[in-house]
Amino acid sequence: MTSTAARTAPPDHPAPGKVGGIDDARAAQLKAANINPRTGLATDYLNHFNEAIMLLEMVPDMPECAEDFLGWQPLSYREHFMASNFKARDLAIEAYDAADQIIRSEFENITSAMTSILVAVGAAMREARQDKTRATLAEQATGWVKPLVALAGGIINGAREADVDSIMAQ
């Protein structure tokens, strides 16, 4: 490949020695830290939502777990990593800040939707007087949030053309 060909390579095919517009060394550093070099995002953030889902899934069989879920607090991507023991938390925040704005915006829209659902369900659970009502709320929320976690995971892993309708139909 000539140097001209390398310069004219389409944006979805980075030049040799580059991954997603960053050099190989930086890409390797991000990959070693479980941060996708192409998106600048880490799946570790999804653990925050998976924790809430896990607690919600326990509510129908163990109603006392509703109190544990009510202790869940929303955290932004940065807040999550700042509060975590993630070994490369500063790198995760730095990569997030440098991520493509379109990718980050798509990701933030989905995580914002998940947060809104979980906060609203928490408020409804606080008002509910019966365990059966809390169980129903937990089951509904799980059904809404799980597909969004999968969609967010797809964005983190570079699936920018994710089919939202097919995920939401599950």
Question: Structural domain boundaries of the chain?
Answer: 1-32, 40-168
**What's the pLDDT at 21?**
59
What are 5's two structure tokens?
A: 């060909």
State pTM to two decimals: 0.79
Task: Please tell me the distance from the alpha carbon of residue 164 to that of residue 170, in angstroms, as a whole number.
Answer: 10
Burial 53-62 (b: 16+ CB within 10 A, else e): bebbbbbbee
Q: What is the pLDDT of residue 144?
A: 97
- C-alpha 53/C-alpha 51 separation (Å) is 5
Strand partners, 18: 23
Q: What is the pLDDT of residues 59-77, one digit of tens each?
A: 999 999 999 999 999 999 9
Question: Which has more confidence, 162 or 96?
Answer: 96
Q: Work out the pLDDT band at 160, boundaries 50, 70, 90.
A: low
